[in-house]
Amino acid sequence: MSQVERFAHLLQEFERVGVDPNTISAGLAVREEDVLRALAALPDDAGPAAFLSQLRMVTTHSSDSADRSHAPRADGPR
């Protein structure tokens, strides 16, 4: 998918969920995959508050997974 197509898809998802992308700056600080995952989990017209809440859940889950993958193993390195 080209960059233009990815951006169009992102804008369509924002519109579907009822979020004005011009007012959401939080999306700039997170990965595109996390934003799309959060949007995909929401129903039509969920609104900005639901989006931000879902985005928080998705990014917290993603960072928790990353932290666990980089944490030292309890039984030491192999």
Digit-coded pLDDT (tens) for 1-17: 899 999 899 899 999 99
Domain count of the chain? 1
Q: Which residue, 46, 71, 75, 41, is CA-closest to 58? A: 41
- 75 part of a folded domain: no
Rounded to whole angstroms, the Cα distance separating 19 from 39 reads 10
Q: Which residues contact 20 (CB under 8 A, 6 or more apart)?
A: 14, 48
Per-residue pLDDT, averaged over 63-75, amounts to: 59
Q: What is the average per-residue pLDDT within 43-72?
A: 81
Residue 74 in any domain: the answer is no
d(CA 40, CA 5): 17
What is the span of the domain harbouring residue 53? Answer: 3-66
Q: Are 42 and 17 in contact (CB under 8 A)?
A: yes
pLDDT, averaged across the chain: 82
The predicted model gives 42-58 an average pLDDT of: 94
**Mean pLDDT, residues 42-70 taken together:** 84
Residue 77 lies in a domain: no
